Amino acid sequence: MDAERAAREALAEAKRVGLRQGFMTFLDNRRCAQSAAARAKDHDRTRKLRRSIHR
């Protein structure tokens, strides 16, 4: 999935920037991605709810 590519990019970034800092940005990015996915799922749920209300 996308996570593997993100991990590889984060590793490359870590080598460039310095291990600790790169890993922190990797964790940050992953948290952002997770929250974005959760938001999308939530948005989908509200859309379905609205659709069911309209019927």
Q: What's the pLDDT at 22?
A: 64
Tell me which residue range forms the domain holding 42. Answer: 2-54
Q: How far is CA 4 from CA 1, 9, 21, in A?
A: 6, 9, 19
Mean pLDDT, consecutive 10-residue stretches, the chain (55 aa), reads 81 72 74 78 79 71
Q: What's the pLDDT at 25?
A: 77
Which pair of structure tokens corresponds to residue 42?
A: 């939530």
Task: Please give the tally of structural domains in the chain.
Answer: 1
CB-neighbour burial class of residue 39 (10 A; exposed 0-12, middle 13-18, buried 19+): exposed
Q: What's the pLDDT at 1?
A: 61
CB-neighbour burial class of residue 24 (10 A; exposed 0-12, middle 13-18, buried 19+): middle
In single-letter form, the type of residue at position 6 comes to A
